[in-house]
Structure 1
Amino acid sequence: MTLPPAASLHDSTESVYSRWQPLNDWLAEHRELWASAPFMEPVPGWTLSHPALADWLAGLSEASCQNLDDDPSLLAEQASGYLSSLGRYDELVHVAELADAQQAEQATLPEIRAVDMPGRKRLQAGAFSAAVQPLPHSILDWCCGKGHLARTLAAASGRPVTGLEWNDELVQDGNRLARRFGDPVLLQCQDVMDTELALEGGAHGVALHACGDLHRQLIRRGSEAGLSRLSISPCCYHLTAEDRYQPLSLRAAENPRCLRLARNELRLAVQETVTAPERVREQTRRISQWRLGFDALQRQLRGRDDYLPVPSHPSRLLNGDFEGFCRWAAHKKGLTLPPATDYGHWQAVGERRWKEVKQYELVRHLFRRPLELWMVLDYGLYLEEQGYRVQIGEFCDRSLTPRNLLIDALR
């Protein structure tokens, strides 16, 4: 199938650094707004330096909070009335759209061929495929899973696709599907973190939502091997073996104002639930209220006004009540709950604190996309330093996936 070319990789002469530096400086300037987590710090320190902004947030209804959380541009516009520098949000995060809806539809596998492929993943793979057209090289699909992207790219290009995946069961299922539909796709069981892995220099390396160190491995190893092109949509930047993020780009790392981010701060970049169904949002709300209620209770029990991390909860607790959650959490942290504990009171405290957290977190959430783009621009800057020409843009609308940024680098 032949598609019209998407946005040219070389339409823009703007260097990646000219985008990275002002974004880095803006994030550094506002660090106090996003570095503290209201879930752990009931009254963030920035409320003292920006009282008008804090007062505006305190007056927002729950519905208004949700609407603004779902529309960062509107949030930035309204918040800029209390802190004018936040008005630069749209300017700093704007990137090009790399394919339109018609191109994405053409490049998407028809449902009859998308066996075992979830609907949202099918559309994401099609949009990714449209954004990286044309495809003149053999293709290497990194962390390919069952080969959904590999089969989509093979159908759109007619080129052979090799997929690398560590899970042998997924490899077998993917190869079975490729044989069934006659796709020129071959998946191989491979740990991509293996330092002995050899890559074919002329290939086009692709990765759709490979996590953390996995996509960084493709960036490093792919550029070292001289892959002709790298097209990567990153995900889960915080999944790394390192405690602090070290920029890939030498130029970024040498900038004296370069952000120094802890692993937990990287997590903020992917804390967006625009695609979550209402049922999941309601479960998240309930468990968050319970956690905040228990947090207030444990502060009183311990006589210490600091946050006590509680591990991930088993899903069965969602079918219970607040008291059951508290008993589970107290057991996990070695705390004894007094027999006369007023669980109704502490649950109400949690519900009240949840509303305050939602209000304060609006400001923090405004920096999710800027932090993600900061990471992606660092990757792009590194690839420029390795001799690639780089374009960064969106391969689909954020309603399909919030992780819609794509680095497209051609050597």
Structure 2
Amino acid sequence: MTLPPAASLHDRAESVDSRWQQLNDWLRQHRELWASAPFMEPVPDWTLSQPGLADWVSGLSEAQCRSLDDDPAGLAALAAEYLPSLGRYDELVRVGEWSNPQQADKATLPEVHAVDMPGRKRLQAGAFSAALQPLAHPVMDWCCGKGHLGRTLAARGQPVTGLEWNAELVQDGNRLAERFGDPVSLRCQDVMASDLTLPAEAHGVALHACGDLHRQLIRRGGAASLPRLSLSPCCYHLTDREVYQPLSRRAAEHRACLKLARNDLRLAVQETVTAPERVREQTRRVSQWRLGFDALQRQLRGEDSYLPVPSHPSRLANGTFEDFCRWAAQKKGLSLTATVNFEHWQAEGERRWLQVKQYELVRHLFRRPLELWLVLDYGLYLEEQGYRVRIGEFCDRSLTPRNLLIDAVRD
């Protein structure tokens, strides 16, 4: 089987260890910029230590904020004029680009076969499949759902076994495989179970398995000495641990290893480049309402501190700012007097929203570096288990921001 050079992150061969060390040091150096949450802290501490950077982002319009948020490399280049060390962003996050539109088209299931498969997921599965060619072992599809990825990979010549805990999805997936004659067999399995037995000599794959689920594949697949593991991680924050525990011995034993809480892990996946305009607009409106209520509650309580408000019922998104405030006040045990000027507080929320967008630009600059730091930790762990590892992008980020692929082949 022919693969790109082991541990090749981009055109200049560079070890996984070296890149992890560089990212670890860079993220520690700039922790003040990404550790604070402007949504909860109206004026982050870093605005005092970096006044030039703060003044620059404070002068950006909403349209400029949105444009730069979708162009992190361009944002880093501009921000580096005020903090030169941010200029290393592009160098530190660059990895191999394995996306090949022609090959992805060939590997994508035809629409007539992609029953119950959202269009974007169909294209993601095709790009993922193309990046893994050639396949040399039977495939084990981890957390397979209805087996859409498995059916995509099966068309490339290898039988697929899918593992999925939801019996209804397993039933639907097996029905689809039988209908189209795909060599795919799904079975009910809790992949977190201690008695899990993996198929021998299988190529373990996972497309966007969340948090502890993809970490379980890495651990169990490595322990079982599977010949190949290929995964695109997602939702790193979905874990039962409050503080991230590195998988690799190299990271765990490093005296200056970055310490990441669950909220830090959540930052790594806070991107909406694939969200429809309607969803973005609704998110904006509700965020403004939450910020308006936050300003109001600080006055009501006489305390200048953030007060977490739970997720709101979906019906409130179609209501008014006043409806939202009355619901939130009731949830937090606050009384709203008849003299509350809701128009004033709504306007304050809109003002705060733009301020948050401006300050969050700086924080969002660290989303991809944090994600890559985690992925490199996974890569280091797999190298310690005897695998040759390559890390790259299997598709463009416009198809999915979670486009990093770890491909590990056992020596």
Deviations 1:302-360, CA, capped at 9 Å, x for gaps? 11111001111111101100000001111111111112111000000000000000000
Give distance in 1, aligned partners of 2:339 and 2:236: 44
Is 1:65 the counterpart of 2:61? The answer is: no
Task: Give the partner amino acid of 1:205.
Answer: G
Contact preservation (8 Å) 2:145, 2:164: yes
SS where residue 191 of structure 2 aligns?
Answer: coil
| Pairwise CA distance, 1:97 | 1.0
Aligned residues: 406
Contact preservation (8 Å) 1:140, 1:203: yes
> In the TM superposition, what are the counterparts of 1:327-406 in structure 2 within 5 Å?
327-406=326-405
SS where residue 112 of structure 1 aligns?
Answer: helix
Give distance in 2, aligned partners of 1:10 and 1:267: 30
SS where residue 209 of structure 1 aligns?
Answer: strand
Is 1:8 the counterpart of 2:7? The answer is: no
Contact preservation (8 Å) 2:144, 2:164: yes
What TM-score does the superposition give when structure 2 sets the normalisation length?
Answer: 0.97
Query: What residue number does 2:83 align with?
Result: 83
> In the TM superposition, what are the counterparts of 1:58-207 in structure 2 within 5 Å?
58-156=58-156, 158-207=157-206
| Pairwise CA distance, 1:408 | 0.2
> In the TM superposition, what are the counterparts of 1:270-309 in structure 2 within 5 Å?
270-309=269-308
| Pairwise CA distance, 1:7 | 5.8
RMSD over aligned CA atoms reads 1.1
Answer with 388-397 or 253-262: which moved more: 253-262
Task: Give the partner amino acid of 2:283.
Answer: T
1:342–1:168: structure 2 CA closer, same or farther, 3 Å change rule?
same
Answer with 27-36 or 100-109: which moved more: 100-109
Give distance in 2, aligned partners of 1:325 and 1:99: 44
Task: Give the partner amino acid of 1:402.
Answer: P
Contact preservation (8 Å) 2:174, 2:186: yes
Give distance in 1, aligned partners of 2:2 and 2:405: 13
Deviations 1:261-319, CA, capped at 9 Å, x for gaps? 00111000000000001000000100000000000001111111110011111111011
Instruction: Specify every segment of 5 or more residues in structure 1 that has no aligned partner in the other structure, as ranges.
Output: none
Deviations 1:175-218, CA, capped at 9 Å, x for gaps? 00000000000011111000100113411000000000000000
> In the TM superposition, what are the counterparts of 1:204-219 in structure 2 within 5 Å?
204-219=203-218
SS where residue 400 of structure 1 aligns?
Answer: coil
Give distance in 1, aligned partners of 2:214 and 2:304: 39
Contact preservation (8 Å) 1:6, 1:99: no
Contact preservation (8 Å) 2:7, 2:389: no
Task: Give the partner amino acid of 2:164.
Answer: E
SS where residue 229 of structure 2 aligns?
Answer: strand
SS where residue 391 of structure 2 aligns?
Answer: strand
Contact preservation (8 Å) 2:7, 2:14: no
Deviations 1:109-142, CA, capped at 9 Å, x for gaps? 1111111111000000000000111101000000
SS where residue 268 of structure 2 aligns?
Answer: helix
Query: What residue number does 2:406 align with?
Result: 407
SS where residue 270 of structure 1 aligns?
Answer: coil
Is 1:18 the counterpart of 2:14? The answer is: no
Query: What residue number does 1:321 align with?
Result: 320
Give distance in 2, aligned partners of 1:27 and 1:182: 49
Report percent identity of matched pairs.
77
Contact preservation (8 Å) 2:7, 2:388: no
